[in-house]
Amino acid sequence: MLQIALDAMGGDHAPAPEIEGALLAARQLGVKVLLVGQPDRLYPALRGAGWTTEPIEILPAREVVAMDETARQSIRTKRDSSLRVGIEALRQGLAVGFVSAGNTGAIVAAATLWLGTIPGIARPALATVLPTLSGRGTLLLDIGANADCKPAMLDQFAVMGAAYVEQILGVERPRVGLLSIGEESVKGNALTREAHALLCQHAPQRNFTFVGNVEGRDIYTGAVDVIVCDGFTGNIVLKTSEGLATALLTMLQEAWRQSTPPSRDTVAGLQQVRTRFDYAEYGGALLLGVPQPVIVAHGRSTGRAIYNAIRVAQEAHLRRLSHQIAADPAVVAMLHHPHRNGVVQDLSGLA
């Protein structure tokens, strides 16, 4: 039976949603969940949630990484954290995937440091699915693992994102766009112009379609399946979207408060849209580029969201996502010339 490690102490409301998600996964997915955390808190909580014979095992870890800790600090000082023990289970082959709703920066740093990257991959990237008008989500990466990127990194993000939407979301020959300012190849900044050239150069050997530059206004139409950008830009896009969605819906409610109260259907419609854009509902982020699946669930994850994250980790393992990424010709070439594009692994940006 496949084993998935789950950080039971990471989320904002841990361990209740983690335990609920673990029970759902153990019952429905045919996996065994390794619940990582403090046994004296987890045993009573598990029993209280109705645990009897479901395949769940507790992996003891004394410490917890706080949400406001820097990655550097947590990695240096907390050697027995649930994050460290969970990643270690993955590294030793005890688990085939790892899920945590904890501190994103710490998870990325710990996974990169202790698991390394897929051979040929310079840096892992964080990816998340955004809702679109077409109904089909768009995968955006990197959303914050790498604030400063080299062109070759964006080229690799395209490979990783395409592999994910193909294998996990079932999109055949995904359409991949490069986030820039203007559709022509000469538009953009120095980074995107060089990345554009690399993506064009590698396009004939690949099993995804590079459509060229896309703009900010294309993100929510669903015109492409994957959008790549540096982690600074991706994070700004994500936070701006969260802020704007909140502002718009608040303004709508204010506009209605000044007139007659809206009908029940109106409120239901608003709620439906809000849910579609809710980061917590839509799930967290995937760390692509490390050898084993690591899923960063949202800090406010529900039990259902944790269950979904475990399901994604299982699928990513079964579909050999990292093998597909490692087989890309440009990634293989990078393996043989690791310093060619100056993208040597460097953890300094994470802490």
- What residues line the site for a second copy (CB under 8 A)? 132-133, 144, 147-148, 179-181, 188-190, 192, 215-221, 229-233, 235-252, 255-256, 259-260, 262-263, 265-266, 268-270, 272-273, 276-277
Cα angle 137, 143, 146 (rounded to 5 degrees) comes to: 150
Q: What is the DSSP string of 249-305?
A: HHHHHHHHHTSSPPPHHHHHHHHHHHHHH-HHHH--EEEESSSS-EEE--TT--HHH
Query: Which residues have a Cβ under 8 Å from the Cβ of 226 and sit 6 or more positions away?
Result: 138, 139, 141, 158, 161, 162, 164, 165, 174, 175, 176, 177, 208
CB of 58 to a second copy, least distance (A): 34
Task: Name residue 285's beta-bridge partners.
Answer: 296
Choice between 35 and 229, CB closer to a second copy: 229
Q: What is the DSSP string of 84-126?
A: HHHHHHHHTTS-SEEEE-S-HHHHHHHHHHHH--STT----EE
Cα angle 97, 98, 100 (rounded to 5 degrees) comes to: 155
Torsion of CA 248, 252, 258, 261, to 10 degrees: -150
CA distance 239 to 351: 20
